[in-house]
Structure 1
Amino acid sequence: MYWHQPVELQSPFRDDYYWNGRALGMTTESATGTVDAFCPGWVSLLNCHANSANIIKPKAVYDDGNNLKDYPGTQSPYGVEAAKIARPIPAGGELFSFYKDEWLMGQVAPSDYDGVVSLLHQVGRVVQDATVPYLYVAQNVTKIVQARQTVVEKLPTALQSCLTTATETTDDNINSFSSAHIREVSWLQEHGRCIDHTVSQRSTVGGMGAFAKHNLQKGQIITTSPLHHFTDSDALNMYNITKHAKKFPVPQSADEEDEDEEAGFHYQRHVDKVIHHQLALNYCFGNDQTSLLLCPYGVGVNYINHSPEFNVKIRWAEGFDGHDSDVVKTATLDELEDIRSPTLAFDYVATRDIEAGEELFIDYGTGWRQAWLQHQTGADAAKRSEHYASAHRWNEQFATALIRTDDEQVLDPYPDHIEVRCHYNAVSYNAAALGPEPPTDMFEWRSDDYGYPCTIVDRFNEKGAWMYTLDVEMWPEAKYNNVLPPVKEVRRVLRTDIPREALRFFDVPGTSDLNTMGTFRHFIELPDDMLPDQWKDMADDEEEEDDEDGEDEDAEVEDED
């Protein structure tokens, strides 16, 4: 969650490896709406290729049954459905997805540098002579910009030419282009890793788990996972945020504010106290002797749960092109910070013979076990109420139930964490104009639809169907970066004859399990024998503290003498 993170570490996961949270239906996880999602597995492993995309981007799915019933917020309820094939893929063919135009337009192509350098040279020649009048400089800069404008003017013609060429491209040409992305099966057997040994399903210990798909032998590499590396574990700290109207001053504890002059409010991040940690910490490996975090994103590995009777262990990957053993041997944390792409990997190895259908477990470490035991017995541990149900459950159980009017909610209110919102199309809905058979998909709710807040003014029966009159609170779509309304430019509209399917339950922002204080957070322990000495930056801090404590004790002894 962007606003909960430290300013200097606002993107702990590399930009190409996380999704916009809104696309996953995660808008209500934060009042600011600025939520990004780390998605390990298929979606992180696939590269983007606009012409050769052969995998359909999977849709997001939400299942709060993934969580441990008695200890909410310890596992993620979000996931993605199984990937689907968009076109035939030959054996050895690389799998590609398409990240959408917004991502593609943000990438810098090698040819872009030539244009930038040329423009800088032209501007440089203009401003090089400091004796020329300012007006002359301005005129010449204007000419340069206008010259570049001719490129923009030619775009429509160029685009039409590209479309014509693309239309005339034959299937043979497409296939010949794709052949550049095919590896020989023998090469893959030597350099690749099988990722078909595991399957995820309900765990025997709660939540989701990983299970053996085939019989596995002791010492066999079950799978291999690349790792994201973060040299500062503080990247997953969470701080309190507040939202204020402009008339209120910024508190001294506020680290940064984000202002919207037109909306008339600002957010403030308070860094004087760490209030929690991002859920991603539960899926990363760490060690008390280092500030480094290693987060696997291979297929299925994040489903492997803890057990003292483990049957799988991790080790640094061997014979795998995606792992650079020299980095482990010699690279410092400062040098790791400068490496902007994944360069490390774990092998997951069977410690004994494992039968098909058996659940896979690893040892999360002594520190993790102690932390989990303390959490289970602690008075501040988050416990889910017996009567709690997420908005997702409400929509499943009460999909066709009558929605209470505002007056009815005075005596029979919905739970504090539940609110009712109406579909965007309710604002423009006109039952009379649409006739007796309106489009069936007019009020279809996608995972990234959040709708508008609304008050249920009235409910009435019309020809055997219940309809609603709504007081809708709306604001310009351009301002819809937040799930809480801005101070200005909010307008209310009254709409009637709105059908039940236009209304949906949502979690009030910041009330989900993931936001609950007291939920369990702790990294999985990286074994000491896997941690190189040059990464042990926390060990020095502990020794300094011990030395200071020892000096204090010596001073006390001298004073007593």
Structure 2
Amino acid sequence: EKDNKGHFLFKSLKTSSVHKAHDCWIHESKRTVNSKKKAKYEYVVSIKKVTPDKKNKKKRPKEETLYISQVPRKAIAVLDQPYTIDQFLRNSFRHYISLPDEMVGPNWRDLNPTHVDAYPQQGQCQLYMAMSSIPHAGLGMYSGKAIPKGDQIGFDDLVVQVEDSGLNYKLRNWHNQIYKFPDHYWLMQHYYWEAKTTGGEREADEIDSIVPGFGMLANSHDGLINTNMIRPRMTSVHGMHRTKDPGAGAYTYYHGVKYMAEEDIAVGEEIWAEYGSSWFLEREDELGIIPIDDDFDEADDMLRTFSDLVKGDVESEMARDLWEFFNMTGDAQQKNRVRVALPEKFEDVKHVMEVGTARHSVPDSIRPMEWLEENGLCLDNIRPDDSTIPQAGKGAFATRFLERGQVIAPAPLVQLRRKDMEVYDSDDIRKKKAKTWRDGTQLLLNYCFGHAESSILLFPYAPVVNYINHGDSIEANAFIRWSAHEGNKRKLLLRTPDELNDSEHAGLMLEFVAKRDIEVGEEVLVDYGEEWQEAWEKYLEEWKPPLDEEDVAYVNPEVLNDIMVPVRTVEEQEEDPYPENIQTLCFVGPFDEKKGEKTKKTDEWGEGYDWTFYHNMYFTNKKGYPCDIVARDGEDLAGYQSVEPDGSHYIAKVYKRKKSKKPLIVRKVPRRAIEFYDRKYQSDLFLRTAFRHEIGLPTKMLPKAWRDVNV
């Protein structure tokens, strides 16, 4: 029934049900008083009615607004918006009820606990450094426990980005009026990771990424890769801003690099990072012929074919004759990568077929725990967390009780030169005779050990050691010394800086040692030296906040990378623009012709396709491209405080190729696939007034051969 205004009249049901409840809007209220002088309220409300098209399910449902009058008060309930009740307070208390330790059997203990209180106070090291199972490959990493596929190995680590190293080398020479010079070489280039794997590729024209934990210490075997790296997240820690905090720009903002088990990892197994097949192919002149992943697969297939030919009896005389004939043929005698992967001796064929050619190539890749405990050094005595020291960013904290004199962590070293830390600029980087000047210093310097009397710098690499902060002679609970481990090539201490600079191999090693007993959860601090302390105090005393308009307006992208907040379209940005330092990236998988044709359509934005998920597309930035958000389809959640992720989908113009002016139109892009980054040379990495100073190497540790600077 309807009233004289065309409104439907409210009708009560015998039973109430949430299935009969609708979102509604109150338009009018009417108050009446009955004979007992009791007030009664009635309301006019509106609801939205959605009617699907039964004949064509793909057709957009019909929507209409219905008005209902004479609605009693008891038929109206006031509820919270979704995700806004206290249940969704993300900082409210959460903890399970503890099950007594004696009730938890050994078969249930499958987690590597990351909370400090959950760590044992002694023993049970779960990650080791020892000599690699690859001959002459130096150091490697081993697991001290079984790690299931998909679990994280060890703790998060950091990335240090190096800006324009090749350009700075050229400008430095030009600045010193040297116009003929060899190609740039420094030892660190053997340890670079591609910047797209760490999310740093858009920081500058040329960025090289240093991942000092797993990224530098773990070896690689292309046939046995058992880890996968997940890129870090950018965070300034405690929301530091360049106009308020003198520590801004003095430490890396790239934290949270994770290495995940790509396969089940056995107790004592060596950790293999993925360098990429090209890394080995490019170094064949230096390393010799090394099989890559496909070569091991082909060699395994050949062995299976061989087994079929001899009907499974690979130890028979017939099998021996066939194997010897194969080895005598011309093709087999060629030293190609597949041939190198196959066993040389017939007696090894059966075993190789059981374990695979890749595992056979490194027979000691799974070490006994007794061997690791005797020959290895523990790598998980410390973990990263926010430092207790103001302006210091993050720090390193003890995961178990560490006795006085105990080695906290080993620190292998890469030798560098001070001059490689210098940053230059020019009026015209293409012209030799253009004006050049010293413009700043690489952030890398802050993570190196050095001494005022030497041009040598030492960069330490091992999980978490780069998080260890400064404490003065009283506060410091740790100190450094040269390591007695076999991985420390002490003969390098006798070489001059020039000889070290020409070396193609690292080999020196420090170790951090407990100066006193260190409790679980206590921050580990080492004395950086008086020179460093004086430099920092002077910097704090003289520091003045930058007041340029671009510095004041600067916003760290982490503030905007909140998936609960909708992204503004190009049109919306005309009235409410993002800061000048911000650019937008969209993560888009490779185009699939079959799927694409099904979603291909043309509208006001042009010809485009629907977004599709791609496996591991967020692990690196390789699938991230500059984009413009032109439209948003979904509820705008910015009007109230909610922890509900933005459920909108977007239409984006994606620029997949640098030289292509025509963008790719991608529809139905989820909020998760849109991220904000700094534009080139805009982040705190390029604050030329930020604090820069090496960590002091004690004078007693400085070799005489290294003293090449007059102080």
TM-score scaled by structure 1?
Answer: 0.70
- Aligned residue for 1:94? 270
Describe how 1:115-264 pairs up with structure 2 within 5 A.
169-171=353-355, 177-205=361-389, 206-230=392-416, 232-240=417-425, 250-254=430-434
**In the aligned structure 2, how far is the partner of 1:345 from the partner of 1:67?**
33
**In the aligned structure 1, how far is the partner of 2:626 from the partner of 2:231?**
23
- Aligned residue for 1:314? 480
Distance 1:63 1:274, change over 3 A: same
Letter in 1 for 2:423: M
Instruction: Report the alpha carbon displacement of residue 371 of structure 1 after superposing the two structures with TM.
Output: 1.6
SS at match of 1:447: coil
CA contact (8 A) 1:405 1:457 kept: yes
CA contact (8 A) 1:426 1:495 kept: no
CA contact (8 A) 1:198 1:300 kept: yes
The higher relative CO (CA closer than 8 Å, separation ≥ 6) is in 1
**In the aligned structure 2, how far is the partner of 1:449 from the partner of 1:78?**
17
- Aligned residue for 1:122? none
CA contact (8 A) 1:380 1:518 kept: no
**In the aligned structure 1, how far is the partner of 2:650 from the partner of 2:365?**
55
- Aligned residue for 1:536? 707
**In the aligned structure 2, how far is the partner of 1:185 from the partner of 1:467?**
51
CA contact (8 A) 2:195 2:208 kept: yes
SS at match of 2:232: strand
Distance 1:360 1:405, change over 3 A: same
- Aligned residue for 2:284? 108
**In the aligned structure 2, how far is the partner of 1:79 from the partner of 1:368?**
24
- Aligned residue for 2:169? 6
Instruction: Report the alpha carbon displacement of residue 278 of structure 1 after superposing the two structures with TM.
Output: 1.2
SS at match of 2:680: coil
1:344 aligns with 2:508: yes
- Aligned residue for 1:18? 192
**In the aligned structure 1, how far is the partner of 2:452 from the partner of 2:372?**
37
**In the aligned structure 1, how far is the partner of 2:590 from the partner of 2:568?**
15
- Aligned residue for 1:510? 681
Out of 261, 264, 278, the residue aligned to residue 442 of structure 2 is 278
- Aligned residue for 2:661? 491
Instruction: Report the alpha carbon displacement of residue 415 of structure 1 after superposing the two structures with TM.
Output: 0.7
Letter in 1 for 2:208: D
CA contact (8 A) 2:414 2:459 kept: yes
Using the aligned pairs only, state the percent identity: 28
Instruction: Report the alpha carbon displacement of residue 509 of structure 1 after superposing the two structures with TM.
Output: 1.3
- Aligned residue for 2:620? 447
Post-superposition Cα deviations, 1:285-338, rounded to whole Å, max 9, x if no partner, equal 0111111101110222111101111010111112x111122332x322232223
Distance 1:359 1:90, change over 3 A: same
**In the aligned structure 1, how far is the partner of 2:633 from the partner of 2:256?**
39
- The count of residues paired between Structure 1 and Structure 2 equals 456
Letter in 2 for 1:317: S
TM-score scaled by structure 2?
Answer: 0.56
Post-superposition Cα deviations, 1:493-520, rounded to whole Å, max 9, x if no partner, equal 4848564646543321111111222111
CA contact (8 A) 1:375 1:520 kept: yes
CA contact (8 A) 1:72 1:382 kept: no
**In the aligned structure 1, how far is the partner of 2:556 from the partner of 2:253?**
11
- Larger helix proportion of the pair: 1
**In the aligned structure 2, how far is the partner of 1:88 from the partner of 1:18?**
27
Letter in 1 for 2:169: P
Describe how 1:61-72 pairs up with structure 2 within 5 A.
61-66=232-237, 69=240, 70=245, 71-72=247-248
CA contact (8 A) 1:382 1:516 kept: no
- Aligned residue for 1:74? 250
CA contact (8 A) 2:195 2:201 kept: yes
1:331 aligns with 2:507: no
**In the aligned structure 2, how far is the partner of 1:446 from the partner of 1:219?**
40
SS at match of 2:512: strand
Instruction: Report the alpha carbon displacement of residue 41 of structure 1 after superposing the two structures with TM.
Output: 1.2
Letter in 2 for 1:511: Q
SS at match of 2:487: coil
CA contact (8 A) 1:240 1:275 kept: yes
Instruction: Report the alpha carbon displacement of residue 224 of structure 1 after superposing the two structures with TM.
Output: 1.5
CA contact (8 A) 1:382 1:517 kept: no
CA contact (8 A) 2:230 2:619 kept: no
Instruction: Report the alpha carbon displacement of residue 380 of structure 1 after superposing the two structures with TM.
Output: 4.9
Letter in 2 for 1:52: L
**In the aligned structure 1, how far is the partner of 2:212 from the partner of 2:670?**
37
Distance 1:100 1:426, change over 3 A: closer
CA contact (8 A) 1:381 1:518 kept: no
Instruction: Report the alpha carbon displacement of residue 252 of structure 1 after superposing the two structures with TM.
Output: 4.5
- Aligned residue for 1:559? none
- Aligned residue for 1:553? none
Any stretches of 5+ residues in structure 2 without a counterpart?
1-162, 171-181, 290-329, 343-348, 602-608, 638-646
What value does the CA root-mean-square deviation take over the aligned residues? 4.1
- Aligned residue for 1:45? 217
**In the aligned structure 2, how far is the partner of 1:95 from the partner of 1:474?**
34
**In the aligned structure 2, how far is the partner of 1:104 from the partner of 1:96?**
14
Distance 1:242 1:510, change over 3 A: farther
- Aligned residue for 2:599? 434
Letter in 2 for 1:27: E
SS at match of 1:295: strand
Letter in 1 for 2:447: Y
CA contact (8 A) 2:415 2:456 kept: yes
Any stretches of 5+ residues in structure 1 without a counterpart?
114-149, 245-249, 255-269, 481-488, 543-561
Describe how 1:544-555 pairs up with structure 2 within 5 A.
none
Post-superposition Cα deviations, 1:52-94, rounded to whole Å, max 9, x if no partner, equal 33x3122111131447822222111224544333445554433
**In the aligned structure 1, how far is the partner of 2:648 from the partner of 2:515?**
61
Q: Indicate the structure (1 or 2) with the bigger Cα radius of gyration.
A: 2
